[in-house]
Amino acid sequence: MLAFVHIEKSAGTSLTNILRRNYFLECCDIRPLSVNSNGVFKFIDFREFKKYNQRLKCIAGHAVKPW
């Protein structure tokens, strides 16, 4: 699993587009699903995304945090 942590104002959009082209349907630009998430993508959110896309190999977005 590749998780791209997109830091604002650091060419992240270009890299996200490259990931989308290379991974196609196996890549997802994620958003937190829970209203209580405080803008952070959590493991419970990941399980929901994985449930609908079993082939998921790459996630990207502002909500991905390195911790």
Say how many domains are in the chain.
Answer: 1
| Residue 67 clears pLDDT 70, i.e. is over it | no
The most distant pair of C-alpha atoms in the chain lies apart, rounded to whole Å, by 32
User: Which residues does 48 contact at the CB level (< 8 Å), separation at least 6?
Assistant: 33
Encoded tokens for 19: 């990931």
The residue written with tokens 């991905």 in the block is 64
Domain assignment present for residue 26? The answer is yes
Band the pLDDT of 4: cuts 50, 70, 90: confident
Domain span at residue 45 reads: 2-61
Domain assignment present for residue 38? The answer is yes
Backbone angles phi, psi at 61, to 5 degrees: 145, 165
Tell me: the pLDDT tens digits for 29-54? 888 887 778 888 888 888 888 898 89
Residue 21 pLDDT: 92
Tell me: the pLDDT tens digits for 7-28? 777 767 888 888 899 999 899 8
Domain assignment present for residue 24? The answer is yes
Q: Is the pTM of this model over 0.75?
A: no
Domain assignment present for residue 66? The answer is no
